[in-house]
Amino acid sequence: MTNRHRSNKALGNDMFLESLELVTWNVNGLRAINRKGALDEILKYDVIMLQEIRTEVVPLNVLMSGYTIAAFPAKKKGYSGVMTLTNVKPQNVIKGIGLAEADEEGRVITVDLGNLYVVNAYFPRAEDNLERLHFKVEFNRAVEGFLSKLASEKPTVICGDFNAVFDRRDSSVWDETWPGLTPQEREWLNHMLQLGWVDAFRALHPNDVVYTWRSYLRKNVAMRIDHCLASPDLKGEIVRAEVLRVEGSDHYPLYLKLEV
């Protein structure tokens, strides 16, 4: 891996990034993943987006890593929350999307890196009986409006645990009453593609069957529910997208390289 700071280019008084390496990972508990030593395996990229951190406490190794830390924990202790680490200080940090219920759960944090917005999102799960599907749909619409505003200003990428698949290739099982597989959730993701947003992994791997999450309870159940969507103006700037086989969570990290 190249040096974290090699890709930075100073323009005037601002810091911009030419080549950007990002990783997004639902860690299923920041303290738990850190105790396993797995977090250290990804502390080498330009931007690291963590979901489901479940804590307000930043581990010492992260504090000492040299990254700028932007965290948005949930109000409810031990629940949800997102954290973004960047190797340059963001020009601005935006916590939330203006949807009260989602913001109380610490679901979205955005960093402005000068010539790029990077959005870290932990989408709600519709739940096994779909009791939160209505909220998921409302959240999706709020995210869409939020992204539209950001992308009108500069290139934007949103990465995270979307808790939903695009199509049948993205799941080892198929039941449209399952959370993440419902028509409502899939329709919104594909609606974003129709608006010009790019599924970064699928753009480079059009035929691959790869999953980012696997069930601890049902060994045959796995899905690709962690995504990076890039705004239309970044379509030609996606250099690499890979699922990293780093163990420790029920999710695998997703790696993305952009030339911006």
Residues tagged active-site = 161
CB 214 within 8 A of CB 243: no
The enclosing H or E element of 105 equals: none
Torsion angle (degrees, nearest 10) of CA 34, 246, 23, 98: -60
Instruction: State the Cα–Cα distance between residues 84 and 111, nearest whole angstrom.
Output: 8
CA distances from 210 to 42, 175, 183, 236 (A): 20, 18, 21, 22
The residues that bridge with 8 in the sheet, in sequence order, are: 17
- What does the block give as tokens for 107? 């679901």
What is the identity of the amino acid at 96? G
Of residues 117, 160, 127, the one with CA closest to residue 23: 160
Decide: residue 138, CB within 10 A, 0-12 exposed, 13-18 middle, 19+ buried.
middle
What is the identity of the amino acid at 251? H
Instruction: State the Cα–Cα distance between residues 194 and 11, nearest whole angstrom.
Output: 35
CA distances from 181 to 121, 167, 243 (A): 19, 8, 21
Give, in degrees to the nearest 5, the angle at Cα 224 between 222 and 226: 125
